[in-house]
A and B are shown apart, each in its own frame.
Chain A
Amino acid sequence: MFVRNILSAIIISVAPVSSVLAAGGDTPPIPSQDWSFSGPFGTYDKAALQRGYKIYREVCASCHSMKRVRFRNLEALGYNEDQIKAIAAEYSVEDGPNEDGDMFERAALPSDAFISPFPNDNAAKAANGGAFPPDLSLMTKARANGSNYVHALMTGYKDKLPHGVELSDGQYWNTYFTGNKIAMAPPLMDESISYEDGTIETLDQYAKDISHFLTWAADPYMEERKRTGFKVILFLLIFAGVMYGVKRRIWSNIH
């Protein structure tokens, strides 16, 4: 049950608060993880982003599109131009029509968006037993407390069902999913993806990395935003101080 509390939103940063409220009846509160990007000076961890992208490519991308992210955006993950070109060229896209009026396949370019696994939403639905795998470009913004939610969802699968619960075919039990019955099979498990940088290959680590990557995908300007904010607020504080001095001086001669 999603519930919004505006008063607390004004008083405290909304993310941790709404997570508790979002829990409502069905699901327990979403546990908070320690993210490098949280806090006013938080930044993304490029190694984690690259690992997360690897998970997306190898696991998520078989069902989920990410059509608002473009290959050229991968620069933010620390890839150079040639690496991005090479990554893009691994995919092919339909382009056209050419001069003969035919559509044709070509290698993807850095300017292309991530290639969707299905040609359209209905095809995606049909291939997944009627459940639509949502686009992941904005996932962490489209859920309350999104970064923690994605991690919780990835790690929230339970084999042992609560007493009296029965699942139909193609359903799985997830502690943190609204209504608990989710159509997505557990996508990650220990050692299911190999990391080249020696990071431990556990479900928890995978969940953190994919969530890190999706947070970046939804909010690519987070670092620039926070940096700009620091400068702007510093300037405003100085300006306010000077302006207060001016106001005091102007008013000093009337009392």
Chain B
Amino acid sequence: MSNAPREKFDNTVVEWVDSRLPIFTMMKNEYGVFPTPRNFNWFWNFGAIAMFMLITMIATGIVLAMHYTADTKLAFDSVERIMRDVNGGWLIRYIHMNGASFFFIAVYIHIFRGMYYGSYKAPRELLWILGVIIFLLMMATAFIGYVLPWGQMSLWGATVITNLFSAIPFVGESIVTLLWGGFSIDNPTLTRFFALHYLLPFVIVGVVLLHIWALHVTGSNNPLGLEPKSKKDTLPFHPYYTSKDFFGIIVFIIFYAIFIFYMPDALGHPDNYIPANPLVTPPHIVPEWYFLPFYAILRAVTFNMNIYMLAGLGLLAVFMVEFIWRHKPKYLNGFLGFLLLVLGSGLAVFGLLADLNQGWEIPMSAANLAPISAKFGGVLAMFGSIGLLVILPWLDNHPIRSARFRPLFRIFMIIFTISVFILGYAGSQAADKVYFMEFNNTMLAQIFTGFYFMFFLIILPLLSRFEKGRELPKSINEAVLSKAQKAGA
């Protein structure tokens, strides 16, 4: 970075600084002349938009922290004081409150774009993983932040989510007590959550810088998924993408402003305007909308995982790795593979049935040996659903990146996106809600949770092995020109 040849600047002050600390050269290289594929579509705006939201959240958050009091007796009142007495406090809080939602909207679209156009594939795996880390940090920050107003949903949402950790075998209870700093969510919990809510955003900033650094090493992916081959394929970042990003950010703020000014509480929950009461639980505890798909996955696991299921799933995993993922089996032959497939699925199905029919007298079934209880299983599934994103670059190692040239992947990607929305809907509904006959909300969540995991663990490896894909254009420039010609003709 520092050893690259440096061009002199005309401005003497700039030159004086730059010759000692080449930040102007860096800005010029990374944001000025940085060669960027010329064919970005509007999906590529959401990185800049997410960055804008991060800055907005930190700016409003710091000001709010100056007025907020992290004490269970005072927190709710201090938030109401912000809303009623602090100059423009209502505006700042509404910007921050809705900002959390709009940050997630931007990031979810950003993640979708990464998946759809294969931005996670080599050489951008680490860039992608850094992104998943940012996403996890955001979830933690958002969850903790929702506790601070100390309303009913704050307290009970925090109680339910922190209790998840009690599912961890052996150490679970101790971990929960440690998290709480007591025997329930109380003042020590609130004060540490406030400290963490102030700290984590800056950790996010740090990881975002790494994310951008990694991006500038590999360069951006693009809708065609082709690496730029010549200068014709790229444009300097400034002014082309600075102007486009600016425009995109303003349009995004318009939608954001509609919520801030005309329906500021629409994305929140009325119960959070009731001060926290440790003696009364609200009838339905619902997390914020951006957690709903994961909440649905958490609640979908209503069965214990007994050793039959675990063994079956283990055998299936070996089969997948050997025969699908590795393309050519390394250790096993076809007959063994067939055996693995049959035995694995048989055991898994048998184990599930054994768990559902507690009457069966089967040695070491649910009743007497289930290493993973339903509660722990739910927690594992929820974290696993995000963990899958981390290993996505290896689950899908198809040589073509963009879904444009992979018709099958594209179809499944769209179904996957829809199923995440359905999971979100399932997460918002009561578990026992009946849709028709005996089909209730838990079953809905189970079906789409099943699809979620199948998509990553079965469909993607199968597709990367068997999908042929369309013929790729020779270069970005050629594709852009032929598109322009078609449009012209």
Contact B90 A6 (CB under 8 A): no
- Residue of B91, B273, B430 near A225 (CB, 8 A) is B91
Interface string of B221-255 (1 = CB under 8 A from A): 00000000000000100011001101100110110
Q: Is the CB of B380 closer than 8 A to any CB of chain A?
A: no
Partner-binding segment picked from B11-19, B283-291, B442-450: B283-291
| Chain A residue at minimum C-beta to C-beta distance from B83 | A221
Q: Beyond A9-B267, A243-B250, is A233–B430 a contact (Cβ under 8 Å)? A: no
Q: From residue A123, how far is it (CB to closest CB) to chain B in Å?
A: 17
Q: A146 to B77: give the CA distance in the assembly, Å.
A: 20
Quick check: A4 and B273 within 8 Å, CB to CB?
no
Q: Which of A49-57, A77-85, A162-170, A246-254 contacts B (4 or more CB under 8 A)?
A: A246-254
A-side contacts of B284, CB under 8 Å: 1-4
Chain A CB within 8 A of B34 CB: no
For B258, the closest partner residue in chain A by CB is A233
Check if B435 is an interface residue, CB within 8 A of chain A.
no
Q: Is there an interface contact between A225 and B264, defined as CB atoms closer than 8 Å?
A: yes
Residue contact A6 to B270, C-beta cutoff 8 Å: no
Q: A5-B428, A243-B243 are in contact. List 5 more A-B contacts (CB 8 A).
A: A1-B284, A4-B284, A134-B274, A221-B90, A229-B257
- Count residues on chain A whose CB falls below 8 Å from chain B CBs: 45
Could you name 20 residue pairs across A and B whose Cβ atoms are closer than 8 Å? Answer: A1-B430, A2-B282, A2-B283, A3-B433, A5-B428, A13-B266, A14-B265, A138-B274, A142-B271, A142-B273, A178-B283, A220-B84, A229-B257, A229-B258, A229-B261, A243-B243, A250-B239, A250-B240, A251-B244, A255-B484
For B282, the closest partner residue in chain A by CB is A2
CB-defined interface of B66-92 with A at 8 Å, one 1/0 digit per residue?
000000000001001001100000110
A143 touches B270 (CB 8 A): yes
A13 and B262 contact, CB distance less than 8 A: yes
Say whether chain B's binding surface is mostly helix, strand, loop, or mixed.
helix
Which B residues lie within 8 Å of A255 (CB)? 484
CB contacts (< 8 Å) of A246 on chain B: these are 243, 247
How many positions in chain B have a CB within 8 Å of any CB in the partner chain? Answer: 48
Which B residue sits closest to A73, measured CB to CB? B84
User: When each residue 337-354 of chain B gets 1 if its CB lies under 8 Å from chain A and 0 otherwise, what string results?
Assistant: 000000000000000000
Whole-angstrom distance from the CB of B12 to the nearest CB of chain A?
A: 30
Q: Is the CB of A7 within 8 A of B425?
A: yes
A residues within 8 A CB of B264?
Answer: 225
Residues of chain A touching chain B, judged by Cβ–Cβ distance below 8 Å, are 1-7, 9, 13-15, 40, 68, 73, 134, 137-138, 141-144, 146, 178, 218, 220-221, 225-226, 228-230, 232-233, 236-237, 239-240, 243-244, 246-247, 250-251, 254-255
Is residue B362 contacting chain A, with contact meaning CB distance below 8 A? no
Q: How far is the CB of B326 from chain A (nearest CB, A)?
A: 41
B463 at the interface (CB under 8 A from A): no
Q: With the chains together, A218 CA to B261 CA distance in Å?
A: 16
Bound complex: CA A237 to CA B257 (Å)? 11
Q: Whole-angstrom distance from the CB of B308 to the nearest CB of chain A? A: 37
Determine whether the beta carbon of A244 is less than 8 Å from that of B247. yes
Q: Report whether A7 and B250 are in contact in the complex, using a CB–CB cutoff of 8 Å.
A: no
Q: Is the CB of B261 within 8 A of A232?
A: yes
Question: For the complex, what is the distance from the CA of A142 to the CA of B433, rounded to whole Å?
Answer: 24
- Of B243, B260, B289, chain A has the most CB atoms within 10 Å of the CB of B243
A2 to B90, CA, bound (A): 26
Give Cα distance in the complex from A6 to B240, angstroms. Answer: 36
Q: Looking at the complex, which one of A220, A225, A247 makes contact with B247 (CB distance below 8 Å)?
A: A247
B441 to chain A, nearest CB (A): 11
What CA separation (Å) do A9 and B268 show in the bound complex?
10
Is B163's CB within 8 Å of the partner chain A?
Answer: no
CA distance A186 to B261 in the complex (A): 36
Pairwise interchain contact A3-B428, C-beta atoms closer than 8 A: yes
Cβ < 8 Å to A, chain B residues 284-318: 284, 286, 289, 292
The 8 A CB mask of B388-432 against A (1 = contact, 0 = none) is 000000000000000000000000000000000100110011100
B263 at interface by CB-CB < 8 Å: yes
Would you give the shortest CB distance from B486 to chain A, in whole angstroms? 13
With a CB–CB cut-off of 8 A, which chain A residues contact B263?
13-15
B254 touches A68 (CB 8 A): no
B257 and A141 contacting across the interface, CB-CB below 8 Å: no
Q: CA of A224 to CA of B275 in the docked complex: distance in angstroms?
A: 26
- What are the 3 tightest A-B residue pairs by CB atom distance, in nearest-first order? A229-B261, A14-B266, A142-B273
Residues 42-77 (chain B) with a chain A CB within 8 angstroms: 77
Is A6 in contact with B257, judged by CB distance below 8 angstroms?
no
**Which of B247, B253, B265, B484 contacts A141 (CB under 8 A)?**
B265
Binary contact track B272-284/A, C-beta < 8 Å → 1, others 0: 0110000000111
Contact of A233 among B77, B239, B244, B254 (CB under 8 A): B254
Closest chain A CB from B145 CB (angstroms): 18
| Contact partner, A40, options B240, B262, B429, B484, Cβ 8 Å | B262
Complex Cα distance, B484 from A4, in Å, reads: 46
Identify which of A5, A13, A134, A240 contacts B250 (C-beta below 8 A): A240
Is B192 on the interface with A (CB-CB < 8 A)? no
Cross-chain contact B257 with A4 (CB below 8 angstroms): no
Residue on A nearest B81 in the bound complex, by CB:
A68
Tell me the minimal C-beta distance from B465 to chain A in angstroms: 35
Residue B269 interfacial (CB < 8 Å): yes
Question: Which A residues lie within 8 Å of B96 (CB)?
Answer: none
CB distance from A114 to the nearest CB of B (A): 13
Q: Which B residues lie within 8 Å of A4 (CB)?
A: 269, 284, 286, 428
Across-interface contacts of A247 in B (CB, < 8 A): 243-244, 246-247
Known: A4-B286, A68-B80, A142-B270. A233 touches B257 (CB 8 A): yes
B252 CB, min distance to chain A CBs, angstroms: 10
Contact yes or no, A144 B80, CB < 8 A: no
Residues of chain A within 8 A of B247, CB atoms compared = 240, 243-244, 246-247
Cα A110 to Cα B283 in complex, Å, equals 38
Take A141-B270, A144-B270 as given contacts and tell me if A6 and B289 are in contact as well, using a CB distance cutoff of 8 Å: yes
